[in-house]
Amino acid sequence: MIAELINVSKQYPGAEALRNLSLSIPKGQIVGLMGPNGAGKTTLLKLLAGLARPTRGEVRVEGRTPDRLAKARIAYAPDSDHLYPWMTVGETLAFMRPFFADWDQERAATLAEFMALPARQRVSQLSRGMRARLRLVLTMARSAPLILLDEPLSGIDVPSRSRIVEAILGQFQPEQQTLILSTHDVMETEALFDRLILLEAGQVKLDDTADALRNQYGKSVRDLLEEVYR
């Protein structure tokens, strides 16, 4: 197991984001974290990234409570922008590099090229889709054992979505990495996931391998989700 949550609750003022949730996430898989807005996906990722603490219960990544030091082993891409608008793409890559011991410069360059990101363009002039691509480059350039991507596909153009899915598949190393990706739809992701975790109102509604779910329900993950959330 790369990560475990044991009886985890997370209370925000006026809202309970996660309710007594337990989960085990095996190593070496691409995991789809699904559920409608407000189901608790972002909270769950932040707990795993060590950016938030549970109100009750226990979170473990590689057997330890994720803290400031754990950031060296966890690559987290938030759904909002954390990029400096006045930097160029090239400057952003150069700026981020020294923060991470596991940064692979060659991979960063390959990815930036694959994502068609011009090194000299300013972040402020990138489209929403291109910024999402840049965030993915920054995350996948690292060799972290745990990669967390919060809604990398939402609200961006179809070509960017396809590129992002292809880049994930081309760079993911199942022997030494685990990737958790949250999304509220499954347009391009039907064949992407090993495992699916469906959240609803802060609890786990389904948790199984994608093939087992297809087998059990005799339908695509996409159709299954439509049925579950109807």
Partner 1 sequence: MHFEFDPALPIYQQLIDTIKRAVVRGELAPGDRIPSQRELAQEARVNPNTVQRAYREMEQIGLVETARGMGTFIGRAPDLIPRLRREMAEAAVRRFVQEMRALGLDNATALELVAAGLTSTAADESEGSCK
**Which residues contact partner 1 by CB under 8 A?**
28-30, 162, 165-166, 169-170, 172, 174, 188, 190-194, 210-211, 214-215, 218-223
How far, in Å, are 29, 98, 135, 229 from residue 205 at the CA level? 20, 40, 29, 10
Instruction: Name the β-bridge partners of 204.
Output: 199
Closest distance to partner 1 from the beta carbon of 63 (Å)? 23
Closer Cβ to partner 1, 98 or 218, answer by number: 218
Closer Cβ to partner 1, 21 or 221, answer by number: 221
Closest distance to partner 1 from the beta carbon of 79 (Å)? 22
Closer Cβ to partner 1, 91 or 223, answer by number: 223
Tokens of 220: 């695509």
Closest distance to partner 1 from the beta carbon of 49 (Å)? 23
How far, in Å, are 27, 102, 138, 152 from residue 110 at the CA level? 26, 16, 12, 19
Closest distance to partner 1 from the beta carbon of 159 (Å)? 14
3-state SS, one letter per residue, for 117-164: CCCCCEHHHCCHHHHHHHHHHHHHCECCCEEEEECCCCCCCHHHHHHH
Closer Cβ to partner 1, 139 or 171, answer by number: 171
Closer Cβ to partner 1, 67 or 211, answer by number: 211
For residues 192 and 15, what is the distance between their CA atoms, to the nearest angstrom?
A: 32
Task: Name, in order, each residue with C-beta under 8 angstroms of 211's C-beta and a sequence gap of 6 or more.
Answer: none
Closest distance to partner 1 from the beta carbon of 17 (Å)? 29
